[in-house]
Amino acid sequence: MSAPAPCVTCSPRCPPRPVRHATDLGCGPGNSTEVLRGQHPDAMVVALDSDPDMIDKARQRRRLCVPQVRCEVGDIASWSAAEPQDLILANASLQWVPDHGTLYPHLIRQLTEGGTLAVQTPDNLDEPAHRQLREIASQGPWADLFADFSLPPRHNAAFYYDLLSPLCSRVDVWRTTYHHPLVGGAEAVVEWFKGSALRPYLARLDAQQQVDFLQLYLQAMQRDYPPSTDGKVLLAFPRLFVVATR
């Protein structure tokens, strides 16, 4: 399933109102920004990402090469809107940002009255693909390198509902598990996570350690994700959605 699909899922929960200013936080190569642009063609859209390479890719998209779209390098944690926003979208980006108890209320304050914050975050830390990462890191010959390793905590639906309800006129929170059929067996699972969950682990290892780590991870994925009858691997991927209207 392509990246925009979860952000499309948010759309029916957003109030039907004109969107003049919108921001895509953690836009990556612009997939979700294209969806945002298609849904609100008259809006002024800012696409923000901390990775200059991602912003370069977003700027190369034909549909985003218009005066109404600005692609900018920036840090979500320190971002503030230049003008009040009618819609803020964060599609699989806020899980990398710490202190959601402060971040989410700050994002709500960037909205117009009646504006909406629409967030999708992976909720898969208890899935085998993530459990195995933690086990391999803590039990391998590189365990000392991960002694102080931690990821920003993930919160459940009740946390976000209780946090945002006093600040918003409406808060919808729900969880959906997507099942992605991947061609290529366990190797496809490893490739899937190379651009996300694996990155902070591999960043602590030298080149040979990375090879060894990935080999152990592949073996674990072969055990935990056996092929289906058609040869594909079915990757379960839970996601948490928050749509909060000020």
List beta partners, residue 70: 46
At 152 the pLDDT is: 83
Q: SS3 letters for 65-125?
A: CCCCEEEEECCHHHCCCCCCEEEEEEECCHHHCCCHHHHHHHHHHCEEEEEEEEEEEECCC
Task: For the chain, give every domain's residue range.
Answer: 1-8+19-122, 123-151+179-238
At 11 the pLDDT is: 67
Highest mean pLDDT among 8-12, 130-134, 152-156, 195-199: 130-134
Residue in this structure with the two tokens 């895509």, named with its chain if needed: 24
User: Distance (Å, rounded) from C-alpha 86 to C-alpha 50?
Assistant: 22
**Between 156 and 2, the higher pLDDT residue:** 156
User: Distance (Å, rounded) from C-alpha 180 to C-alpha 151?
Assistant: 24
User: Distance (Å, rounded) from C-alpha 10 to C-alpha 176?
Assistant: 11
Indicate if the pLDDT at residue 199 is higher than 50.
yes
Q: How confident is the model at residue 1 (pLDDT cuts 50, 70, 90)?
A: very low
Q: In this predicted model, what pLDDT tens digit does every residue of 136-159 receive, in sequence order? A: 999 999 999 999 998 888 999 999
User: Distance (Å, rounded) from C-alpha 180 to C-alpha 55?
Assistant: 27
CA atoms within 13 A on the CB side of 246: 19
Q: How confident is the model at residue 9 (pLDDT cuts 50, 70, 90)?
A: low
At the topology level, CATH places domain 123-151+179-238 in: DNA polymerase; domain 1 (1.10.150)
Q: Write out the two tokens for 91.
A: 């599609």
At 17 the pLDDT is: 86
Cβ distance 152 to 96 under 8 Å? yes
At 209 the pLDDT is: 98
Q: What is the DSSP string of 109-175?
A: HTEEEEEEEEEEEE--TTSHHHHHHHHHHHHSTTGGGGTT---PPP--HHHHHHHHGGG-SEEEEEE
Q: Does domain 1-8+19-122 have CATH number 3.40.50.150?
A: yes
Cβ distance 14 to 116 under 8 Å? yes
Indicate if the pLDDT at residue 10 is higher than 90.
no
Indicate if the pLDDT at residue 3 is higher than 70.
no
User: What mean pLDDT is predicted for residues 125-134?
Assistant: 96
Residue 87: partners with Cβ closer than 8 Å, 6 or more residues away = 14, 19, 21, 22, 23, 36, 40, 43, 115, 116, 118
Reported pTM: 0.88
User: What mean pLDDT is predicted for residues 157-185?
Assistant: 97
Q: In this predicted model, what pLDDT tens digit does every residue of 20-72 receive, in sequence order? A: 999 999 999 999 999 999 999 999 999 999 999 999 999 999 889 999 999 99
